[in-house]
Chain A
Amino acid sequence: MNDKNYLTGDLIPKPLFQTIFLGFLVITMILIAFNGYREYQATSKFFEDESTESQSSVYEIGYLHITKVNHSADNNRNTRQYVTITGLSYPISEYAELSEVQMESNGLLMPGLVSHPSFVVTDENKSFWKSQFYWVLAYHSGGYLLLCMLIFAATLLRFRQGQKLFTKELKYAVYAFYGLIMAGYFLYAVIFGRMIHFLNQSTALNESLTAGISPELLNVGVVLLILIVLIEQAIPIQEEQNLTV
């Protein structure tokens, strides 16, 4: 009688599966880093190129969108750049009372939707907008890369521990995830606040500096904290199990 049960056995050998899975994570990390570098180059090029070949072109990272539009008047052609920000909480104060000339002199081109204003990119503020794009790019790419590295380390640890689940190392891995999420939460608020501070100073934006504080990452952090508490309770039970032969 054939004792091998194909329903409960492994489809592929476990070491092969683990190698493939870890290899997939390594490839993902390389792709994230490469993509981040490519985005950095594209951002630089977009800012540095004085004109655009098409009538308009748009480039975006996160909540920042930069648009280049060619204007032609009396055989003169020039290109203007605008940065649009999405996701603001409050409308531009008194924008309805500002004339178009006043809006442009304030650096505010068009209010658009009440939470998606656009701002003119001038020679004075170009370096700021460029650095803001770089910060947002670094936040996204760096964040995903760190997350992937943590997942790789945690997965490698799990594969080495075999059947044991609730260990000190798992607790430290969850602590590390919690630290990354909370760092991301604060960093997002700081980067967003930097931009709001600049716009409050240079235009009539009048937005709260705390507009960038979003609860999503905080919610994830709270869930991870609860998980840490559960793991702390489970580790002694696991250690008891480890001493069952």
Chain B
Amino acid sequence: MAIIVNLDVMLAKRKMSLTELSEKVDITMSNLSILKTGKARAIRFSTLEAICEALECQPGDILEYQEDEE
């Protein structure tokens, strides 16, 4: 997948655990885990907005584009 999710980087910067983030944004641990491990196929704007608000960051801090090496 060309879009990389740097959620664990932001969590480390904000010194927040995945569990704490889950409680703050009211998203299940399994969904956050899917996002963190790069298995997600799509993300809703509402989810992105909630995560950015909780981590006090921009979407670009969480999402990164890398060209596929093919």
Q: Tell me, in angstroms, the Cα distance from A244 to B34 when the chains sit together.
A: 9
Chain B residues bordering chain A, tally (CB within 8 A): 12
A244 shortest CB reach to chain B, Å: 4
Q: Tell me, in angstroms, the Cα distance from A240 to B41 when the chains sit together.
A: 7
Question: Interface residues of A toward B: which range?
Answer: under 10
Q: Is B54 an interface residue (CB 8 A)?
A: no
A243 shortest CB reach to chain B, Å: 4
Q: Which residues of B contact A243 (CB under 8 A)?
A: 34, 39-42
Q: A239: nearest residue on chain B (CB-CB)? A: B41
Q: Tell me, in angstroms, the Cα distance from A245 to B47 when the chains sit together.
A: 7
Interface residues of B in 11-63 (CB under 8 A from A): 27, 31-32, 34-35, 39-44, 47
Q: A240: nearest residue on chain B (CB-CB)? A: B41
- B44 near A244 with CB under 8 A, answer yes
Q: Tell me, in angstroms, the Cα distance from A240 to B47 when the chains sit together.
A: 17
A3 shortest CB reach to chain B, Å: 16
A162 shortest CB reach to chain B, Å: 10
Q: Which residues of B contact A245 (CB under 8 A)?
A: 27, 31-32, 34-35, 40, 42-44, 47
Interface residues of A in 218-245 (CB under 8 A from B): 240, 243-245
Q: Tell me, in angstroms, the Cα distance from A243 to B40 when the chains sit together.
A: 5
Q: Tell me, in angstroms, the Cα distance from A245 to B32 when the chains sit together.
A: 8
Which of B31, B41, B43, B47 counts the most A-chain CB atoms under 10 A from its CB? B41
Q: Tell me, in angstroms, the Cα distance from A243 to B39 when the chains sit together.
A: 7
Q: Which residues of B contact A240 (CB under 8 A)?
A: 41
- Give chain B's interface residues, CB within 8 Å of chain A: 27, 31-32, 34-35, 39-44, 47
